[in-house]
Amino acid sequence: MFDTAAAPTAWDRARAALESVERRVGVEHHDPVVALAPPEPAPLTELLPDGDLPTGAAVTVRDSASLMCWLLGATQRDRWVALVGWPELSPLALAEAGVDLDRVVVVPDVGGRAAAILAALLDGVEIAVAGPHAVTTASERRKLLARARQRAATILSPMPWEGAALVLNVEHARWSGPDHGDYCLREAHLSVVRQSRADGAGTRFEVVRHGTTAPTALATRAAARRRAG
């Protein structure tokens, strides 16, 4: 009985003809192998769900002043930034992170009037950083967030902020350099968990900075594939 399952298909006949021609002209046939390039680190803005700071919203950056500076440098562009209640944040660190200091307003000492100062600044700046000394109540934070929505501005804070649209938690930071980074910090590795409406339980990233180069971000699953490759 004729086995129809074993009958050569048009593809089989074409492939056999091609191999016959290759043998006659002395060409060796090799099955093509496609190698996928490992994922490359993306700009730091990869940490942000839409590649930029959300407007009319609050963003919390926990446990890393460096990451706060880098985010400001990566997203400021021509925006005005206000730094309120954070005297320890060095202008040199901001400039090194790419922040245009000509568009920065600094209020280091709020004198117990943090909410009033932030509310006034939200009328004129696009990004307001509420530092650790800018102490506000839950009620004041709700009012400030409502004002940011009205002005299409962004509030950045190293402290928890109710209703924040984006939270970046730095779970681990490792600095290295000469003498293990004690005297000259040349390289930073941060493990960051991003929490937002788009992330569910959270998305993990590795943030790396070599020397004075711009920091990069890579989702942890992509980073694992890159190391395996």
| pLDDT of res. 87 | 96
| pLDDT of res. 224 | 43
Structural domain contains residue 1 = no
Residue 28, class by beta-carbon neighbours within 10 Å (0-12 exposed, 13-18 middle, 19+ buried)? exposed
The arithmetic mean of pLDDT across residues 143-161, rounded, is 98
Domain of 209 in residue numbering reads as 42-228
Structural domain contains residue 150 = yes
Whether residue 225 has pLDDT greater than 90: no
CATH number at residue 185: 3.40.50.300
Structural domain contains residue 7 = no
Structural domain contains residue 158 = yes
Band the pLDDT of 211: cuts 50, 70, 90: confident
What is the per-residue pLDDT across 38-83, written as a single tens digit (0 to 9) for each? 455 589 999 999 999 999 999 999 999 999 999 999 999 999 999 9
What is the per-residue pLDDT across 131-148, written as a single tens digit (0 to 9) for each? 999 999 999 999 999 999
Structural domain contains residue 9 = no
Local structure of 228: helix, strand or coil: helix
Structural domain contains residue 18 = no
The arithmetic mean of pLDDT across residues 198-213, rounded, is 87
Structural domain contains residue 137 = yes
What is the per-residue pLDDT across 10-25, written as a single tens digit (0 to 9) for each? 767 777 776 776 666 6
- Give the number of domains in the chain: 1
- Structure tokens given for 166: 């984006």
Task: Give CA–CA dist 17/14, Å, rounded.
Answer: 5
Structural domain contains residue 221 = yes
